[in-house]
Structure 1
Amino acid sequence: MFKKLPGDEAQQLVSTTPDTAVVFRPAVLRTPAIITIVIFVWRLLAGLVRLVWRHPIASAVVTAPTVLAWLYGWQYGLSFVAGVLVGLTSWALLGRLSFNRWIGWRLLAFWRLVWVYRRHWQPVMIISGLGRHLRGRDYLPRLVSIRCTSWADLVTVKMLHGQAVKDWADRTDHLAHGFGARSCRVSVAKAGRLLLVFPRHDPLATPLPAMPIPDAASVGPVEVGTCEDGTPWLLKVHGTHILVAGATGAGKGSVIWSTIRGLLPAVRADLVEIWALDPKRMELSFGRDLFGDRYAASPTDCADLLEAAVAVMQERADRFAGLQRNHTPTVEDPFVLVVVDEVAFLTAYQSDKGLKLRISAALATLTTQGRAVGVGVLAALQDPRKEVMNIRNLFPDKIALRLDESEQVDMVLGDGARDRGALADHISPIPEQGAGVGYVRLECSPDPIRVRAAYVSDTDIHTMATGFTPGPDTAPMTAVEVTR
């Protein structure tokens, strides 16, 4: 009824015993030579068009001298190559920035694409588990493009259908070592595509001097250091709350003093008030003249100062209700920044339970209601555990400096931050290399940013304190005085 095709019948059966394997000869379809030639020519032309489209500069570098040599002789082709080399060398020496922008980084990207990524793409994908080898065929994520900057390779990848970002975030170590990089960070470029960042060197290895004091009075963003890509690190302080976590010697003081330094002109213009809580009596006391009477060291004074800030916040909320939703700093209603150094001493290690409850309640009130009326909190701590700081999720912006354990990274920056490349537990404990280096996770973005805060020396703090003396009207308002 059904016609047998060639290869259906068994060939050369040796034995009829049940355990003998039966070998079938597969059907062979002979393709005409003209079809094979057409397919080969089509693939060759498509590959050439794709090569020219993706790499126009490299294609022109090879094609132009070849065409000149073929049409006019090898002397013209050689002269063209020599002229181009002389011109590019002169450009690189005289205008290095523009040369790197238009030529240098593109050539480096092409070289690393060919020699590093495409060369190792298939084995790295298969061994790391991001690719699949099924029935003799490799199913690999597609390498879309690569862009080089002064410090890193930015690789765009198209994921396989069915893959998730977490599949890649869990294999950052595999990717980093597979492509010879120090680390790897994963972020979403768009639906189905990822951006992999492979640093070639560390641009934050050198300590930064203190940022210059701004000329104009402003409530921010404040320049406190440098980001890994070379852009200024601008820290938003007005309209948010900031939590800084780091081990001893990680550089929390650099973040605090750089912020105060950037706000100093606004403090002089009475647009900003800095209220300092210094339970250690070491960090903020060195520049105590900057805070005047708005400085507290003992637990009792810290509780009183926090409750005074809550009173200011509530008085403003009563006046702003129904009139405005956002705060604009003025002399009458300046922005109040409450700086708390080693907040865990006040919220967890305080022996007086009454003071502990007062301080915790005041901090919770400020962090939930304060930013709309111009009262912000900048808190620093060493131990980010929940039982030590149970209101850490009330801080929209978080900074993780050097931490002791990998689990602490997600405690500070949120779940998945370490998988996305925030390796705060790998920051060097050597002060010259790692002090002030950290990762920032902002409220508006889930991707951590690697930064380094400028180091504000004792001399810089002394100069700031002696150059500015608060006036007599800078005493903190108590709950009784807040009646307008």
Structure 2
Amino acid sequence: MFRRLPGDEARNLVTTTPDTAVVFRPAVVTTPAILTLIILAGRIVVGLVRATWRHPIAMLAAATPGVLTLVYGWRVALLLSTPTPVGLIAWALTNRVSFARLVGWRLLAWWRLIWVYRRHWQPVMIVSGLGRHIRGRDYLPRLVKVTCTPWADLVSVRMLKGQAVKDWADRIDHLAQGFGATSCRVALSQAGRITLTFPRTDPLATPISAVPLPAEPSVRAVEVGMQEDGQPWRLKVHGTHVLVAGATGAGKGSIIWSVIRGLLPAVRAGLVELWALDPKLMELSYGRALFGPRYAATPEDCADLLDRAVKVMQERAARFAGLQRSHAPTIDDPFVLVVVDEVAFLTAYQSDRELRRRISAALATLTTQGRAVGVGVLAALQDPRKEVMNIRNLFPDKIALRLDESEQVDMVLGDGARDRGALADHISPVPELGAGVGYVRLETSPDPIRVRAAYVSDTDICVMAGAFAPGGGA
């Protein structure tokens, strides 16, 4: 094929055969060597200034021995430079926690910024489609900062103009593989800037023993396990409703019993009442003595117990009307937590249509009106489909444990949760690795948090039932 020649060169070419190949060689301008050296020196100076601006401490540490060697000789430089690394090593050996917080994680962040992220930034951005190569020039998102924690790298990125968080959320697999991580999560930190989380280790890989009983009665957020960052996971149950979804063996019982365990001192103090619906006759029946007369197992008893809870809620609403808008637990008006182990059995799989209608209506009434008067619902189910649980959106706080399908993640946690890193369908089915591991999406934040619930054993439940059942000892 013929190619169009630049400028007016084509009109000056003459050929007698139309198929003769035309070769055009542009004029070559020889650049003086001195100009090449000046450009190279300028680039070196600019690079040094940029490196000093971005990494002042590292550049100072690298330049100091060289300056001392030039000024005083290598013996003096060695003598003056040795105490610093020796002191750092001694500090790391004697107080590893403070060394890691003040020095260690900063050094690791600098190293991973240089060796992992900045080195691979351009190819990963171009291949994943987050950067653009236009007319020989790369337009890349700006790598702002890397911060290291004991378990992950937090990479701050300034997006290109016109990009959205969803553009990055759709490419989390590309980013994780490109930077050698097992997964990646995306969160919007401020306008035009996002934070990418790349885990280095998994602090939730081993089971967690039951959380110790609280020393003081309280209905505030209950500690039920641990977050991925190593902080305690505290679940709010007063003033909200919580939905827990997970496949068989995913660890729903760990969450339920951890919540009950954390509320037992408040139950003894008269500030909390636990109402239990156990249609499977497996999970909650083991500690049945803790619930007293507020325990139901058959569908008929479950419907009656829910109707009683609705009646308590409506009586409180009538008394509180015009006097208070939020509930504070007291002995006269304790916080009522309705625990439903397998809610889908009652709302979808129940053969009696009238019982199914009563139960669904009662649950809908409690989840729409119960928060303000101190009646909460903690419900667990295996199948999160809309036709199975048509009131799942009435639960402000949701927990997704191991799920069978990727589509179920968004069913439980809301649209876009999986794109933001809530990979509940990737949780291991091996109990030791994945039981109790899940993702929490709170009403106050769209970003999912990875957590693991503590395992409350049968022995723990027996001890709890013996100590806190009505009439039991301390």
Is the pair's TM-score, using the shorter chain for normalization, greater than 0.5? yes
Superposition deviation, residue 204 in structure 1:
0.3
1:385 matched residue in structure 2: 385
1:227-270: per-residue Cα shift (whole Å, max 9, x none)? 00001101001100000000000000000000011111110100
How do 1:81-160 residues align onto structure 2 when only pairs under 5 Å count?
81-160=81-160
How do 1:412-431 residues align onto structure 2 when only pairs under 5 Å count?
412-431=412-431
2:246 matched residue in structure 1: 246
* SS of equivalent residue, structure 1 residue 163: coil
Distance 1:110 1:234, change over 3 A: same
1:283 matched residue in structure 2: 283
* SS of equivalent residue, structure 2 residue 63: helix
- Size of the aligned set, in residue pairs, is 467
Distance 1:193 1:20, change over 3 A: farther
How do 1:211-222 residues align onto structure 2 when only pairs under 5 Å count?
211-222=211-222
Q: Is the 8 A contact 1:7 1:25 kept in 2?
A: no
State how far apart, in whole Å, the 1-side matches of 2:201 and 2:361 are. Answer: 45
1:58-114: per-residue Cα shift (whole Å, max 9, x none)? 112112212211211111222233222211111111111111111111111111111
Distance 1:65 1:354, change over 3 A: same
1:465 matched residue in structure 2: 465
Cα RMSD after superposing both structures? 2.2
State how far apart, in whole Å, the 1-side matches of 2:242 and 2:66 are. Answer: 61
* SS of equivalent residue, structure 1 residue 113: helix
Q: Does 2:328 match 1:328?
A: yes
Distance 1:33 1:7, change over 3 A: farther
> Partner letter of residue 190 of structure 1?
Q
> Partner letter of residue 89 of structure 2?
T
State how far apart, in whole Å, the 1-side matches of 2:437 and 2:79 are. Answer: 51
1:359 matched residue in structure 2: 359
Q: Is the 8 A contact 1:336 1:376 kept in 2?
A: yes
1:479 matched residue in structure 2: none
Superposition deviation, residue 12 in structure 1:
6.4
State how far apart, in whole Å, the 2-side matches of 1:442 and 1:43 are. Answer: 50
2:397 matched residue in structure 1: 397
2:189 matched residue in structure 1: 189
> Partner letter of residue 102 of structure 2?
W
Report percent identity of matched pairs.
76
1:199 matched residue in structure 2: 199
> Partner letter of residue 168 of structure 2?
W
Q: Is the 8 A contact 1:327 1:374 kept in 2?
A: yes
* SS of equivalent residue, structure 2 residue 75: helix
Superposition deviation, residue 283 in structure 1:
0.5
State how far apart, in whole Å, the 2-side matches of 1:271 and 1:138 are. Answer: 63
Superposition deviation, residue 145 in structure 1:
1.0
* SS of equivalent residue, structure 2 residue 82: helix
1:319 matched residue in structure 2: 319
Q: Does 2:341 match 1:341?
A: yes
Superposition deviation, residue 408 in structure 1:
0.5
Superposition deviation, residue 52 in structure 1:
1.8
Superposition deviation, residue 132 in structure 1:
1.3
> Partner letter of residue 68 of structure 1?
L
Superposition deviation, residue 47 in structure 1:
3.1
Query: Which residues of structure 2 form unaligned runs of 5+?
Result: 1-5
Distance 1:388 1:7, change over 3 A: closer
> Partner letter of residue 249 of structure 1?
G
Q: Which moved more, 1:131-140 or 1:384-393?
A: 131-140
Superposition deviation, residue 367 in structure 1:
0.3
State how far apart, in whole Å, the 1-side matches of 2:413 and 2:419 are. Answer: 11
Q: Does 2:447 match 1:439?
A: no
2:448 matched residue in structure 1: 448
Distance 1:316 1:68, change over 3 A: same
> Partner letter of residue 384 of structure 1?
P
Q: Is the 8 A contact 1:337 1:378 kept in 2?
A: yes
Superposition deviation, residue 22 in structure 1:
7.0
Superposition deviation, residue 128 in structure 1:
1.0
Superposition deviation, residue 469 in structure 1:
2.4
Superposition deviation, residue 457 in structure 1:
0.3
State how far apart, in whole Å, the 2-side matches of 1:205 and 1:98 are. Answer: 25
Q: Does 2:332 match 1:305?
A: no
Distance 1:12 1:112, change over 3 A: farther
Q: What is the TM-score when the length of structure 1 is the normalising length? A: 0.92
> Partner letter of residue 362 of structure 1?
A
2:64 matched residue in structure 1: 64
Superposition deviation, residue 29 in structure 1:
9.0
Query: Which residues of structure 1 form unaligned runs of 5+?
Result: 1-5, 473-484
State how far apart, in whole Å, the 2-side matches of 1:178 and 1:223 are. Answer: 36
1:476 matched residue in structure 2: none
Distance 1:18 1:364, change over 3 A: farther
1:431-478: per-residue Cα shift (whole Å, max 9, x none)? 000000000000010000000000000010100000012269xxxxxx
State how far apart, in whole Å, the 1-side matches of 2:436 and 2:171 are. Answer: 27
> Partner letter of residue 309 of structure 2?
A
Superposition deviation, residue 142 in structure 1:
1.2
> Partner letter of residue 130 of structure 1?
L
